[in-house]
Amino acid sequence: MVSYRHTVQYYETDKMGITHHSNYVRWMEEARVNYLAKVGCGYDEMEKEGIISPVLSVSCNYKNTTTFADVIEIRTAIKEFKGLRMTVEYEMIKLNDNSVVCTAESQHCFLNADFKPLNLKKSNPDYYNRLTSELNE
């Protein structure tokens, strides 16, 4: 698990003064990009090697609200990975009161530059090993 912090920006809030729900998906991407870079599978490096990883699905469960200037810790981990598809899970905590504000998952696949499915176990064992080692933590 890797933690990432995001401070809620004013523009992320709506007329009610709370964070608009769509921003949580953006925060998930920020946290996921940070997570993958920290485990040695940064998007920039993978893309240089012709590997892309689109989002297949996103699921969010909103538990509490956040507002401008709240600091959110996003705990990110790989839930499932078998080489072709990967599920990432997120837990978002508001640090001023340690309340869970959102739990979420995103599912991804791996494709080559021609948008053909790519199994990392066969095509890039190094990335495969880095990602599967994260499942054991």
Q: Which positions are catalytic?
A: 14
Query: Could you give the C-alpha distances from 52 to 25, 113, 118, in angstroms and in order?
Result: 19, 7, 9
| Euclidean distance between CA atoms 1 and 69, whole angstroms | 24
- Rounded Cα distance between 6 and 81, Å, is 26
Residue with tokens 């699921």: 59
